[in-house]
Amino acid sequence: KAGVTQTPRYLIKTRGQQVTLSCSPISGHRSVSWYQQTPGQGLQFLFEYFSETQRNKGNFPGRFSGRQFSNSRSEMNVSTLELGDSALYLCASSRTSGRNEQFFGPGTRLTVL
Amino acid sequence: TQLLEQSPQFLSIQEGENLTVYCNSSSVFSSLQWYRQEPGEGPVLLVTVVTGGEVKKLKRLTFQFGDARKDSSLHITAAQPGDTGLYLCAGKLTSGTYKYIFGTGTRLKVLA
């Protein structure tokens, strides 16, 4: 069974640009959550999607947005990039919302110059 | 504001030694998880504890959830180089959601 896949694995952008990250959950999983991991702040919850609906949202500015498609694949978008957005962005999938084990993907390493 | 404090932040020990990692908070959690993350990979779930005072064992790893469900510990017996990695605790404030609060992590290095 294939695991959670994230693309791209590495990304370099400049300030002011926007970026879209993609996450394909494990087959049969309908919940996708996104996290940002930085050395200073650790791992922080961004948002969770279940059946194409955002179920929960963390404390991030509106520049961070996401969506989920009917096949459960999810995308995360960050607009007007700032230097502080440099981080490892992780997505995790689960069979249902909030009740099962999360399986994390390898992450997308975003560097903002 | 970091709700979950982990200690120590870094730990370097020799193979065969024992160690304990702590995860503390002033908040009450409905459940708490421990993960291990290796370079270039996402975190992998080790255990979930849900009942105050609960103790779970996974081979050489022993996990304990505090009676008040505010803290947890991870004890590794006879550490091996394969235990090297970043250990993260994560607390869930409300059931039925994946809005986890993650600790800052403990980076463990076990030397052969």
Q: Which among A42, A94, A104 has the least Cβ separation from residue B42? A: A104
Which pLDDT score, from 0 to 100, does residue A40 have? 82
Structure tokens given for B44: 């992998």
| Measured distance CA(A40)–CA(A26) in Å, rounded | 30
In chain A, the residue whose alpha carbon lies closest to the alpha carbon of B39 is: A106
Contact (CB<8Å) B43/A43: yes
Name the B residues in 34-53 with CB < 8 Å from any A CB. 40-45, 48
Q: Is the pLDDT of residue A73 over 70?
A: yes
Taking contacts as CB-CB distances below 8 angstroms, the residues of chain B near A45 are: 98-102
Task: Give the largest CA-CA distance in chain A.
Answer: 39
- Mean pLDDT for A83-91 is 97
Contact (CB<8Å) B104/A90: no
Q: Is the pLDDT of residue B3 over 80?
A: no
- Residue A67's DSSP bridge partners are A75
Taking CA atoms, A49 is separated from A109, A110, B5, B54, in Å, by 21, 21, 27, 31
CB proximity B10 to A under 8 Å: no
In chain A, the residue whose alpha carbon lies closest to the alpha carbon of B1 is: A41
Whether the bond between B8 and the residue before it is cis, its omega within 30 degrees of 0, is yes
Contact (CB<8Å) A45/B103: no
Please report which confidence band the pLDDT of residue A83 belongs to, taking 50, 70 and 90 as the band edges: very high
State how far residue B2 is from chain A, nearest Cα, in angstroms.
8
Which pLDDT score, from 0 to 100, does residue B98 have? 58
Q: How many other C-beta atoms lie within 10 A of the C-beta of residue B51?
A: 10
For testing the chain A interface, which of B50, B86, B98 should be mutated: the one with the most A CBs within 10 Å?
Answer: B98
For testing the chain B interface, which of A102, A103, A109 should be mutated: the one with the most B CBs within 10 Å?
Answer: A102
The CA angle A97-B6-B76, to the nearest 5 degrees, is: 90
Summarised one tens digit per residue, pLDDT across range B33-73 is 999 999 888 999 999 998 999 999 999 999 999 999 999 99
Summarised one tens digit per residue, pLDDT across range A26-57 is 999 999 999 999 988 889 999 999 999 998 88
Specify the residue for token string 């404090």: B5
Q: Is the pLDDT of residue A15 over 90?
A: yes
Structure tokens given for A47: 């948002």
Q: How many other C-beta atoms lie within 10 A of the C-beta of residue B27?
A: 11
Contact (CB<8Å) A97/B99: no
Q: Is the pLDDT of residue B95 over 90?
A: no
Please report which confidence band the pLDDT of residue B2 belongs to, taking 50, 70 and 90 as the band edges: low
Structure tokens given for B80: 């091996």
Which pLDDT score, from 0 to 100, does residue A32 have? 94
